[in-house]
Amino acid sequence: MVVFESNKGRRIIGRLERGDNLLESLLTTCEKFDVKAGFIRGLGAFETAELTEYDIEKGDYRPPFRLEGLHELLMLNGNVSFKEGRPFLHLHALLSSVKPGACTVYGGHLLSATVFACEFEIVTSDDVELVRKADTATGLSLWQESGKLKAKS
Ligand code: ZN
């Protein structure tokens, strides 16, 4: 188990514009506010999205499932940490399509999205360092024991 306690954090609240690249915009926000570790949540709607999931047999992510057209973003959930020295987003999304007599929900590991509207919050943990490295047990890049940042005096 890898576990950290954080006693220092901020809340960054924002709205993305129509046409924004979700991942690029959130990474830019993380860099602007010097977010090194935190959790992200949001809601709104996407005009396109690519979802996948991990295939344990192949040890890799499945080919993306691409959604075109407006879908409601029921839930964006994810985190920010560091991988190979750069901020890295791990995002999951639930999206819906409602038509007369049918409601379909799509979900998965989010690879990309074009924003129609998105209100989001990033809750930071400014006193921990979350670093992703290869995990031999899963084949994934997961948080490793890298230490808690020292408090500034
Ligand atoms: Zn994932």
What pLDDT tens digit does each residue of the chain (153 aa) get?
A: 888 889 999 999 999 999 999 999 999 999 999 998 999 999 999 999 999 999 999 989 999 999 999 999 999 999 999 998 889 999 999 999 999 999 999 999 999 999 999 999 999 999 998 999 999 999 899 998 766 665 544
List Cβ neighbours of 136 (8 Å cut-off, separation of 6 or more).
Answer: none
Q: Is there a domain that residue 83 lies in?
A: yes
Tell me if residue 15 falls in helix, strand or coil.
strand
List Cβ neighbours of 142 (8 Å cut-off, separation of 6 or more).
Answer: 2, 132, 133, 135
Q: Is there a domain that residue 139 lies in?
A: no
Q: Is there a domain that residue 59 lies in?
A: yes
- Looking at residue 153, its pLDDT comes to 43
Phi, psi of 15 (to 5 degrees): -135, 135
- Looking at residue 151, its pLDDT comes to 52
Q: How far apart are CA 123 and CA 84, in angstroms?
A: 22
Q: Is there a domain that residue 86 lies in?
A: yes
Token output for 16: 């993305």
- Looking at residue 85, its pLDDT comes to 86
Q: Tell how far the Cα of 92 is from the centroid of ligand 1, in angstroms.
A: 6
Q: Tell how far the Cα of 41 is from the centroid of ligand 1, in angstroms.
A: 14
What number of H helices and E strands is found in the chain?
A: 1, 9
Q: Is there a domain that residue 42 lies in?
A: yes
Q: Ligand 1 is a single-atom ion; what residues have CB below 5 A from it?
A: 109
Q: Is there a domain that residue 23 lies in?
A: yes
Q: Residue 42 belongs to what domain range?
A: 11-132
Q: Is there a domain that residue 152 lies in?
A: no
CATH number for 49: 3.30.1330.80
Whether residue 45 contacts residue 73, with contact meaning beta carbons closer than 8 Å, is answered with yes
Number of domains comprising the chain: 1
- Looking at residue 149, its pLDDT comes to 65
Q: Tell how far the Cα of 70 is from the centroid of ligand 1, in angstroms.
A: 22
Q: Is there a domain that residue 76 lies in?
A: yes
